[in-house]
Amino acid sequence: MSDHEYTPKSKVGKWFNDRLPLLTLANHLTDYPTPKNLNYWWTFGGILTFCLITQIVTGLVLAMHYIAHADMAFDSVEHIMRDVNYGWLIRYIHANGASMFFLAVYIHIFRSLFYGSYKSPREIIWIIGIIIYLLMMAAAFMGYVLPWGQMSFWGATVITNLFSAIPLVGEGIVTWLWGGYSVDNPTLTRFFTLHYLIPFLILGLVVLHIWALHVPGNNNPVGIDIKKPSKDTVPFHPYIVIKDGFALLMFMIVFAFFVFYTPNILGHADNYIEADPLVTPAHIVPEWYLLPFYAILRSVPDKLLGVIAMLSAILILAALPWLDTSKIRSAVFRPLYRQFYWILVADVLILGYVGAMPAEGLYLLIARVATAYYFLHFLVVLPILGFKEKTLPIPLSITEPILGGSPNLATVKNKESLNK
Amino acid sequence: MSEKKTNRRDFLFTATYAVGAVGVGATVWPMIDQMNPDASVKALASTEVDVSSVNPGKTITVLWRGKPVFIRRRTEEEISEARSVSLNDLKHPEKDEDRAKDPQWLVMLGVCTHLGCVPLDQKGDYNGWFCPCHGSHYDTSGRIRKGPAPTNMEIPKYEFVDAKTIKIG
Amino acid sequence: MKNFFRILFLVIIIIGFQHQTNAAEKIEYLKTDWSFKGLFGKFDRAALQRGYQVYTEVCASCHSMKYLSYRNLAEKGGPEFSEEQAKAIAASFEVKDGPNADGEMFIRPGKLSDKFVMPYENVKAAQAANGGAYPPDMSVLVKARGGGVDYIYSLLQGYEDPPAGFNLDDGVYYNKYMYGNKIKMANQLSDGLVEYSDRTIASVEQMSKDVTTFLMWAAEPHLEARHQMGFKAIVYLIILTTLVYFSMKRIWSRVETEV
């Protein structure tokens, strides 16, 4: 479909397109051949784009009213909530939007893990995705500091102190990050600057992410390459556009419910107390989306090793395309991997749960076991599984029945669902 | 693709587009309206000024809604000068009687109607105000007489609360 | 459709986690029927006006509400005092203004645009007057406490004699619902403490409920607008989703694959 060279019909269009081929790009995007068997787990890419745009637009608006100064930040947020026209709406969308963004990105990542979307030839897409995820965490963390409540202040203190674990230069780096001897006004101002910058970096990386995706094309639930584009694919517009749109609207209903009816449930009450450098809140908990990593950090008794473990937990994902030795992409045809996949999902959920609990007694023990398993999954289970696992027979194409008769496409489709 | 063309006129698609457009509009509005003056700004709409210490021939300038307001206690000459001008000589015809209810007191926004600079007191060809930015001359009633400004300087809503206090706004 | 429920399921898990996070220290709070809960929740105007009375007559001598202005009292969705009433309330307070032309600060009656007058000049003065404990600003207090309205409502009624052997220093009181059971604020409410102009009987329970309602509004002044807009937004989204769903079915009917 996109094989043929595109030429605009109008003369002006051709003149323009010869100089800047925007129309060719638009044509590529609308005609982009997409596997017709994508399920709804593939709609989260579009949903994430929506989340990013929403955060950027509401963020720009908030920045018009927010004051990045330690003495005025908390007041200016209250000013937004009380006096600015629709300020409460815009702030609640932005605050809950961060959570929705992470919810969507986790689904997106776990979809990729299930269907092996990170495997050759899509390693670069995956690695760019990991960088985006890291930047999202940085943006979310710095954004959480801006209201200058108690959780903002103490979260910033704890997270920046992680760098003090670095031998020799650690203390110096922390002082440099703070611009003083504690988290204070200089810290707030620079966090605001970076919080403003990062979304645009993410936007740039998203363009690369999609560019890299459009080179090999989408993976699909069956995990095999497209054999006959004319038979196996549909043009992106209108088929995928409308489907993504439908899924996005579903997502927006959940989003709206949070914004309008429980806008503060995902936040922490202590953040409505203005920052006080003299009093630490009783429980310091990061936002829910960082809890698994927080649990990993706390499960290691050594300061430096804890930080290393936490960072490795994320960075190990970048090596995933090479740690997973299986040639088969989709978990649909990997019965053993499928079991381990679900154990990993449970493991991460458990880590998230104990991350919110006090780091003591049984919780600490569970956190340690779960942390160990997390690394085991990537470093031991995946490499060995690729050699040992007996996979199911794979269909010839995504529209044709499997060689040997069964299982047919209908059963394959049933098995695709993550919710077994 | 010919099928697509016939379907587009389909009622279902038209309805979907229409409802979608309404939603986009409703979402865009808060993003625009947030830039309008907020509730705390609107609440500061009035200010009270004590003018008991202003003698004839003196002007005080007070801040109202972030703009200067000139409060001038005019002399007899200034009043007669302002009231004797024929409306035909004015670019923006307004009677001085309408601009200054109490002839002694002229209360007006000290903002040049050309591009918003603050005119200088007791300057210019008409003994009133002169805007240094682009050379607009105003008379003793604050009316534009010469230069690029299109209209007279604006008279805000004001009232005397008592003999010595003016409430602006 | 199935996917929608799956997503919902995940969301519920996350909320569940959050709830359990707080569960560790949670005690059963006293319950009452709040008019502002639920999809169409609205404030009870009379309760807000009574709550304001309790705040000014009882709480305001120590607790500031620095983010509220007198104009808020007349705004839609709040206590909705009339403009005249709100002006009279504002004028009954003395506000420090200035400097005037002589460079001196002066006292004048409050105006609608003024912020609620603070009982103390600053935090230090508040601490000095209250045995070192700062009476927290109450503008967002409801949102700043884990239990929210239920917690405040319970705390106000939670004063009891300490159990035998429970050590209390001077100026510290026992409260069933306070974290650690020790509170530096003495019991402030007693039956009939204020005289409601609408003749409601001012029981401790009634005053607690009224003032907590008032604090909820103070922390979330746009709650009613939010509920109304939320209902409209969600109904709208459901309609559009339905339309898009059928459009999608129509479009995908051109290929044999199901969506």
Residue C43 Cα distances to A81, C72, C256, angstroms: 18, 14, 54
Task: Please determine, for residue A78, whether its predicted confidence score (pLDDT) is greater than 80.
Answer: yes
Q: In what helix (H) or strand (E) does residue C94 lie, and over which residues does it extend?
A: strand C94-97
Please tell me the predicted confidence (pLDDT) of residue C169.
Answer: 85
- 3-state SS assignment for residue A288: helix
Per the rule left: phi > 0, alpha: psi between -120 and 50, beta: everything else, B34 is alpha
Mean pLDDT computed over C40-53:
96
- 3-state SS assignment for residue C115: strand
Looking at the complex, does the CB of residue C16 fall below 8 Å from at least one CB of chain A?
A: no
| A346: Cβ contacts below 8 Å, ≥ 6 apart | none
In whole angstroms, give the CA distance from residue A35 to residue A217.
Answer: 9
Does B12 contact C244 at a Cβ distance shorter than 8 Å? no
Minimal Cα–Cα distance from B15 to chain C, Å?
8
Mutate to test the interface with C, among B7, B11, B12 (most CBs of C within 10 A): B12
In whole angstroms, give the CA distance from residue A234 to residue B74.
Answer: 81
Assign C14 a pLDDT band (cuts: 50, 70, 90).
Answer: low
List the subunits that have 3+ CB pairs under 8 angstroms with C. A, B
In whole angstroms, give the CA distance from residue A383 to residue A386.
Answer: 6
Task: Please determine, for residue C258, whether its predicted confidence score (pLDDT) is greater than 70.
Answer: no
Q: In what helix (H) or strand (E) does residue C96 lie, and over which residues does it extend?
A: strand C94-97
pLDDT digits (tens, 9 = 90+) for B81-90: 999 988 988 9
For residue B64, give both structure tokens: 């109202």
Q: How many CA atoms lie within 13 A of A22 on its CB side?
A: 5
Phi, psi of C97 (to 5 degrees): -130, 175
pLDDT digits (tens, 9 = 90+) for B94-133: 999 999 989 999 999 999 999 999 999 988 899 899 999 9
Mean pLDDT computed over A19-43:
95
Minimal Cα–Cα distance from C108 to chain A, Å?
25
Question: Among C238, C244, C255, whose Cβ lies nearest the Cβ of A36?
Answer: C255
Q: Which of B112, B123, B115, B116 is nearest to B59 (CA)?
A: B123
Question: Among A58, A79, A86, whose Cβ lies nearest the Cβ of B33?
Answer: A86
Mean pLDDT computed over C96-125:
89
Q: Which residues of A touch C231 (CB under 8 A)?
A: 260
Looking at the complex, does the CB of residue B4 fall below 8 Å from at least one CB of chain A?
A: yes
Q: Which residues of B touch C112 (CB under 8 A)?
A: 43
Mean pLDDT computed over C172-193:
91
Task: Please determine, for residue A207, whether its predicted confidence score (pLDDT) is greater than 80.
Answer: yes
Least confident of A98-112, A295-309, A375-389, B6-20: B6-20
Looking at the complex, does the CB of residue B44 fall below 8 Å from at least one CB of chain C?
A: yes
Assign A419 a pLDDT band (cuts: 50, 70, 90).
Answer: very low
Q: Which residues are paired to C257 by β-bridges?
A: none
Least confident of A269-278, A380-389, B47-56, C245-254: B47-56
> Of C87 and B169, which is predicted with more confidence?
C87
Least confident of A286-295, A392-401, C61-70, C211-220: A392-401
Question: Among B12, B23, B39, whose Cβ lies nearest the Cβ of C247?
Answer: B12
Looking at the complex, does the CB of residue C144 fall below 8 Å from at least one CB of chain B?
A: no
What is the four-CA torsion angle of C172, C177, C180, C183, rounded to 10 degrees? -20
Does C247 contact B40 at a Cβ distance shorter than 8 Å? no
Does C243 contact B40 at a Cβ distance shorter than 8 Å? no
Please tell me the predicted confidence (pLDDT) of residue C85.
Answer: 95
Task: Please determine, for residue A227, whether its predicted confidence score (pLDDT) is greater than 90.
Answer: no
Please tell me the predicted confidence (pLDDT) of residue A410.
Answer: 45
Please tell me the predicted confidence (pLDDT) of residue C17.
Answer: 57
Mean pLDDT computed over A154-165:
94
| B57: Cβ contacts below 8 Å, ≥ 6 apart | B73, B74, B75
Looking at the complex, does the CB of residue C247 fall below 8 Å from at least one CB of chain B?
A: yes
CB-defined contacts A:B, below 8 A: 34
Q: Which residues of C touch A253 (CB under 8 A)?
A: 4, 234, 237-238, 241
Please tell me the predicted confidence (pLDDT) of residue A278.
Answer: 92
Please tell me the predicted confidence (pLDDT) of residue A415.
Answer: 45
pLDDT digits (tens, 9 = 90+) for B141-153: 999 999 999 999 9
Please tell me the predicted confidence (pLDDT) of residue A2.
Answer: 44
Q: Which C residues 183-212 touch A at CB under 8 Å?
A: none
HEC assignment per residue over chain B? CHHHHHHHCCHHHHHHHHHHHHHHHHHHHHHHHCCCCCHHHHHCCCEEEECCCCCCCEEEEEEECCEEEEEEECCHHHHHHHHHCCHHHCCCCCCHHHHCCCCCEEEEECCCCCCCCCCEECCCCCCCEEECCCCEEECCCCCEEECCCCCCCCCCCEEEEECCEEEEC
Q: Which of C110, C109, C86, C107 is nearest to C98 (CA)?
A: C107
Q: What is the mean pLDDT of chain A?
A: 92
Residue C114 Cα distances to A53, A85, B166, C70, C252, angstroms: 38, 19, 20, 6, 60
Gyration radius of chain A's alpha carbons: 24
- 3-state SS assignment for residue A48: helix
For residue A175, give both structure tokens: 């002082």
For residue A405, give both structure tokens: 């008769």
For residue A322, give both structure tokens: 């090479």
Looking at the complex, does the CB of residue A61 fall below 8 Å from at least one CB of chain B?
A: yes
Q: Label residue B105 exposed, middle or buried (CB < 10 Å: 0-12, 13-18, 19+).
A: middle
Does B4 contact A86 at a Cβ distance shorter than 8 Å? no
Question: Among A246, A254, A270, whose Cβ lies nearest the Cβ of C8?
Answer: A254
| A187: Cβ contacts below 8 Å, ≥ 6 apart | A145, A156, A160, A177, A178, A179, A180
| Percent of chain A topping pLDDT 70 | 94
CB-defined contacts A:C, below 8 A: 123
Task: Please determine, for residue B3, whether its predicted confidence score (pLDDT) is greater than 60.
Answer: no
For residue A97, give both structure tokens: 């939007």
Does A263 contact C226 at a Cβ distance shorter than 8 Å? yes
Does B15 contact C250 at a Cβ distance shorter than 8 Å? no
Does C250 contact B7 at a Cβ distance shorter than 8 Å? yes
In whole angstroms, give the CA distance from residue C44 to residue C34.
Answer: 9
Does B34 contact A57 at a Cβ distance shorter than 8 Å? no
Nearest-Cα residue of chain B relative to residue C244: B16
In whole angstroms, give the CA distance from residue A233 to residue A1.
Answer: 9
List the subunits that have 3+ CB pairs under 8 angstroms with B. A, C
Please tell me the predicted confidence (pLDDT) of residue C24.
Answer: 47
Q: Show the CA angle centred on residue C108, arms to residues C105 and C114, nearest 5°.
A: 95
Bridge-based pairing of strands C94-97 and C106-109 is: antiparallel
Nearest-Cα residue of chain B relative to residue A238: B4
Please tell me the predicted confidence (pLDDT) of residue A405.
Answer: 38
Assign B6 a pLDDT band (cuts: 50, 70, 90).
Answer: low
B28-42 exposure pattern, b = at least 16 Cβ within 10 A, e = fewer? eebeeebeeebbeee
Residue type, B71: I
Minimal Cα–Cα distance from B33 to chain A, Å?
6
Please tell me the predicted confidence (pLDDT) of residue A249.
Answer: 98
In whole angstroms, give the CA distance from residue C62 to residue B43.
Answer: 27
Q: Which of A310, A314, A316, A293 is nearest to A380 (CA)?
A: A316
Query: How many angstroms from the chain centroid is the CA of residue B74?
Result: 21
Does C24 contact A357 at a Cβ distance shorter than 8 Å? yes
Assign A215 a pLDDT band (cuts: 50, 70, 90).
Answer: very high
Concatenating the DSSP letter of every residue in A374-404 gives HHHIIIIIHHHHHHH--PPP-BSSTTSPBTT
Please tell me the predicted confidence (pLDDT) of residue C5.
Answer: 56
Residue type, C208: S
Q: Which residues of C touch A84 (CB under 8 A)?
A: none
Determine the number of helices (DSSP H) and then strands (DSSP E) in chain A: 18, 2
Give the catalytic positions of B in this structure. Answer: 134
Please tell me the predicted confidence (pLDDT) of residue A420.
Answer: 37
Minimal Cα–Cα distance from A255 to chain C, Å?
10
Mean pLDDT computed over C131-144:
93
Phi, psi of A306 (to 5 degrees): -60, -45
- 3-state SS assignment for residue A364: helix
Minimal Cα–Cα distance from B121 to chain C, Å?
20
Minimal Cα–Cα distance from C146 to chain A, Å?
5
Please tell me the predicted confidence (pLDDT) of residue A408.
Answer: 43
Q: Which residues of A touch B34 (CB under 8 A)?
A: 61, 64-65, 84-87, 90
Does C222 contact A252 at a Cβ distance shorter than 8 Å? no
Minimal Cα–Cα distance from B47 to chain A, Å?
20
Looking at the complex, does the CB of residue B6 fall below 8 Å from at least one CB of chain A?
A: no
Inter-axis angle of helices C2-23 and A335-356, nearest 10:
40
Q: Which residues of B touch C237 (CB under 8 A)?
A: 23
List the subunits that have 3+ CB pairs under 8 angstroms with A. B, C
pLDDT digits (tens, 9 = 90+) for A343-392: 999 999 999 999 999 888 899 999 999 999 999 999 999 999 999 999 99
| C195: Cβ contacts below 8 Å, ≥ 6 apart | C202
Mean pLDDT computed over B67-88:
92
Assign C97 a pLDDT band (cuts: 50, 70, 90).
Answer: confident
Please tell me what DSSP assigns to residue A116: T
Least confident of A41-45, A194-198, C163-167: C163-167
In whole angstroms, give the CA distance from residue A174 to residue C50.
Answer: 51
In whole angstroms, give the CA distance from residue A272 to residue A358.
Answer: 22
Looking at the complex, does the CB of residue B31 fall below 8 Å from at least one CB of chain A?
A: yes
In whole angstroms, give the CA distance from residue A60 to residue A44.
Answer: 24
Mutate to test the interface with C, among A88, A246, A274, A279 (most CBs of C within 10 A): A246
Question: Among C100, C113, C240, whose Cβ lies nearest the Cβ of B44?
Answer: C113
Does B38 contact A84 at a Cβ distance shorter than 8 Å? yes
Q: Which residues of B touch C71 (CB under 8 A)?
A: 39, 43
What is the four-CA torsion angle of C166, C169, C171, C175, rounded to 10 degrees? -20
Assign A406 a pLDDT band (cuts: 50, 70, 90).
Answer: very low
Q: In what helix (H) or strand (E) does residue A353 lie, and over which residues does it extend?
A: helix A335-356
pTM as predicted: 0.90
Contact B114, B127 (CB under 8 A): no
